Amino acid sequence: MPAVTMDQLVSLCKRRGFIFPGSDIYGGLQGTYDFGPLGVELKNNLKAAWWRANVYERDDMEGLDAAILMNRLTWKYSGHEETFTDPLVDCRSCKARWRADHIQGVCPNCGSKDLTEPRPFNMMFKTQVGPVADDTSFAYLRPETAQGIFVNFANVLATTSRKLPFGIAQIGKAFRNEINPRNFIFRVREFEQMEIEFFVMPGTEDAWHQRWLDDRMAWWRSVGLSSDNLQVYTVPKADLAHYSKATYDLMYRFPIGFEELEGIASRSDYDLGSHSKDQANLGISAKVMENADSTARLTYFDPETKRHLVPFVIEPSAGVDRGVLALLTEAYDEEQIKPVSAERAQAVRDALAAFVKSVGRNEKLDPAQRDAILERAEAIGQDVAAHMAQIPALLDLPGASSIELSKKLRGQADPALDESYRTVLHLKPALAPIKVAVFPLKRNAPEIVATAREIRKTLQADGNMRTVYDDTGAIGKLYRRQDEIGTPFCITVDFDTLGQGKDPSLTGTVTVRDRDTMQQERVLMRELPEYFRDRLR
């Protein structure tokens, strides 16, 4: 079963240390999130997979890491100062501000239709550069990484002697002062992009556009997104960004529906033409602003025709945060492993009913929070046994923990969840934050503990992967914990491993348990590195 709601993902991410609201202890900062111990691993693995596929495994790509702060002129000539805007409206009744194209003429806060006319709101953040604060000493935090690539085009060309077609890839932070950041890490004010600017001969751009669309689709599938959850949307001409001749949006079925995961734009010669000097002599086809400031001619010398030309650009631009969200959405599953006993189900049902009553009666609860809690509780209540795994997410909804009876509900559900359900992330092993967890069957058996710790260390060193040792619970509970964070394999060291069990043929072996099948097998300790080599790709 795929993720049912965003709340379930938010709850898991917070509970298990993937993603936390930014500046949480000070009440947060809207549109910012912090990636915790597991989130940073997942994100790094996604970025590494992208870099490997797009830089190392291709013959036509170079990498770059440009500065976030750039000369303000970059954003003048890129067109962002003038056009990187969203339509802003104010609600005259409650004074809330909204992005006009997100609200269909009705204020989501108070329901009023008394809104101002939309006006353009520039989404670039400004910051002061240097000690003097005046109208000229500011820079923008980049709203896309792309411009760092364009302004380095001549540098890369000169230092690598590349021939067209070739591309430059970059991963880095981007910042947008979104009017209404929302939907967890889907729309935030600080995020990361994985961008490629691929430079091609004019006239070949349509074929390359299609090739990149196919390549990028195949790559998202290779990291685990299913074809059923991916769609291509051809952006209508009227909605194209100011630089684009044509754009395909690669859409993923997030819990909020199909939304953009990556944009693949055909940017013509707009960018290199905009940032180039001597524009009049370059035969630029795009409509660009006259540039009196650039010191470089951003052209390519074609050895065949012996002339300088401005390359066209295809730009596959993916969001890292949206990528992480898509991976989590795709991987999330709740599975019933064995039936819940009738008594336990009844106890949870009773606790849920009491909780719902208490929520309904609570006058201190914010009405919107109360409605959200009741709506979710009602959905669970339709079949408590089938939806029991959603109770932690229900209790993580804003306001829920302020209800005294939430503790009782959690207490009743917990044992049933431990025995009968598991939440599991079916992440591709290569992307999983932790690859292998090692447990001792008994934590007070020094030889077993030492062997388990040694295995963890050896695998860590051998496979250059994140492994963990854990002895903080019974084995069943430890398996559940690792399932929930997507660890593909768990190893248990027991008395048989040490030759102290009933079956001497098991000496030197450990139990390896597979996350997805939950099957266990005995594997020789010395063969573990080999065993995992293929299975963790």
Helix (H, G, I), strand (E, B) or coil at 535: helix
Site mask for ligand GAP (CB under 6 A), range 165-204, x = bound: -----------x-x--------xx--x-x-x---------
Question: What secondary structure, in 3-state letters, does 300-354 show?
Answer: EEECCCCEEECCEEEEEEEEHHHHHHHHHHHHEEEEECCCCCHHHHHHHHHHHHH
Q: Is the Cβ of residue 322 or residue 435 nearer to ligand GAP in the bound state?
A: 322
Q: Is the Cβ of residue 262 or residue 269 nearer to ligand GAP in the bound state?
A: 262
Minimum distance, C-beta of residue 97 to ligand GAP, in the bound complex (Å): 16
Residue 262 binding ligand GAP, by CB under 6 A: yes
Count of residues engaged in binding ligand GAP, rule: CB under 6 A: 19
Residue 275 binding ligand GAP, by CB under 6 A: no
Minimum distance, C-beta of residue 322 to ligand GAP, in the bound complex (Å): 4
Minimum distance, C-beta of residue 433 to ligand GAP, in the bound complex (Å): 21
Q: Is the Cβ of residue 261 or residue 424 nearer to ligand GAP in the bound state?
A: 261
Q: Is the Cβ of residue 391 or residue 431 nearer to ligand GAP in the bound state?
A: 431
Q: Please state, in angstroms and rounded to a whole number, the distance separating the CA atoms of residues 184 and 444.
A: 42
Residues of span 229-248 touching ligand GAP by CB under 6 A: none
Minimum distance, C-beta of residue 205 to ligand GAP, in the bound complex (Å): 16
Give, to the nearest 10 degrees, the angle between helix 475-485 and helix 405-420.
Answer: 100
DSSP assignment string, 364-378: SS-HHHHHHHHHHHH
Residues of span 120-159 touching ligand GAP by CB under 6 A: 144, 146
Q: Is the Cβ of residue 317 or residue 511 nearer to ligand GAP in the bound state?
A: 317
**Terminal CA-CA length for the chain:** 24
Residue 388's nearest CA partner among 427, 425, 341 is 341
Residue 19 binding ligand GAP, by CB under 6 A: no
Minimum distance, C-beta of residue 216 to ligand GAP, in the bound complex (Å): 11
> How would you classify residue 105: left for phi > 0, otherwise alpha for psi between -120 and 50, otherwise beta?
left
Which listed residue (216, 322, 387, 410) binds ligand GAP by CB under 6 A?
322
Q: Please state, in angstroms and rounded to a whole number, the distance separating the CA atoms of residues 308 and 311.
A: 9
Q: Is the Cβ of residue 20 or residue 531 nearer to ligand GAP in the bound state?
A: 20
Of how many residues is the chain composed? 537
Among 14-22, 261-269, 284-292, 516-524, the segment contacting ligand GAP (CB under 6 A): 261-269
CB 298 within 8 A of CB 275: yes
DSSP assignment string, 28-95: --TT-EEE-HHHHHHHHHHHHHHHIIIIIT-SSEEEE---SB--HHHHHHTSHHHH-EEEEEEBTTT-
Bridge partners, 69 (sequence order)? 141
Cis peptide before 165 (omega within 30 of 0): yes
Residue 216 binding ligand GAP, by CB under 6 A: no
Give the side-chain half-sphere CA count within 13 A for 275: 24
Q: Is the Cβ of residue 231 or residue 341 nearer to ligand GAP in the bound state?
A: 231
Among 14-22, 254-262, 387-395, 506-514, the segment contacting ligand GAP (CB under 6 A): 254-262
Neighbours of 399 (CB within 10 A): 17
Q: Please state, in angstroms and rounded to a whole number, the distance separating the CA atoms of residues 492 and 482.
A: 13
Among 310-318, 357-365, 470-478, 528-536, the segment contacting ligand GAP (CB under 6 A): 310-318
Minimum distance, C-beta of residue 201 to ligand GAP, in the bound complex (Å): 22
Minimum distance, C-beta of residue 242 to ligand GAP, in the bound complex (Å): 11
Residues of this chain that interact with ligand GAP (CB under 6 A) are: 144, 146, 176, 178, 187-188, 191, 193, 195, 260-263, 315, 317-319, 321-322
